[in-house]
Amino acid sequence: MIVAGIAVAATLTAVTAAVAFAGGETATGSIVCPQPVVPAVPAAAQAEVRRELAGLDRQIAEANERLRTSAGEGGPNFVQNAILGPLASKRVAALNRIETAIGRVAAKPEGLERFATCGLGQAPAVSAPPSTSRQAATGTPAAGAIECPLPVLPNVPAAARSEVDRELATLGKQLAEANDRLRTSAGQGGPNFVQNAILGPLASKRTAALDRIAIAIGRVEARPQGLERFATCSLR
């Protein structure tokens, strides 16, 4: 199974911090990074990709902790040189590992390093992806495909693994069905047709499946919170 399309228009969660710059100037902000848009993740690569996406989350949390604890240090370029620069290098490495993981079993995505650069207060603009004729798994042209975020899960206990895998497969099936609906309904409805008839119902279905994943894990250990943030999909 291939889960087609991973896209989140929002940026990753960041911790708010007060930053004191040289000369006593103070600004309130947080380090925010763009969420990688990964075109397709084969089932055989999903575990590794999720691990790297979780690693990106940890890197942001660590960078924001460094931002908080280093208030008042260095000169005007301290945040860029001591925090944002090293963070970008770490993200490039993780994004390259995601490309490699996918490339072992399918066409290797290119250009993920464009999501490496983070900013203070808001994520920098991301450049356009490299041109490609690649299509989504459903056969829908990539320029008109529905993309959904791949859930970043905690370590799944063995007792919950089969149920979680079943729900992850359901998410993939829901996405494939939505892209098929997109393909077969071309030209139907008004300007809000895709949102109202496809993306909205898909988000509701995904919320239910993600909730079932949280419940499955919660039966045997701490229940993960916030998985619903992976429910909203978008049209690329």
How sure is the predictor about 9, in pLDDT bands with cuts at 50, 70 and 90?
very low
Cβ distance 113 to 95 under 8 Å? yes
Rounded to whole angstroms, how far apart are CA atoms 164 and 168?
6
| CB neighbourhood size of 16 (10 A) | 10
* Six token digits for residue 126: 């991301």
* Least confidently predicted of 139-143, 153-157, 212-216, 232-236: 139-143
* Six token digits for residue 153: 């899960």
How sure is the predictor about 92, in pLDDT bands with cuts at 50, 70 and 90?
very high
Query: Beta strands 119-120 and 234-235: pairing type?
Result: unpaired
Residue 90 has pLDDT above 90, yes or no: yes
| CB neighbourhood size of 158 (10 A) | 8
Report pLDDT digits (tens) over 108-150.
888 889 889 999 887 787 776 665 433 333 343 434 788 888 8
Rounded to whole angstroms, how far apart are CA atoms 188 and 219?
44
Please give the DSSP secondary-structure letter assigned to residue 79: I
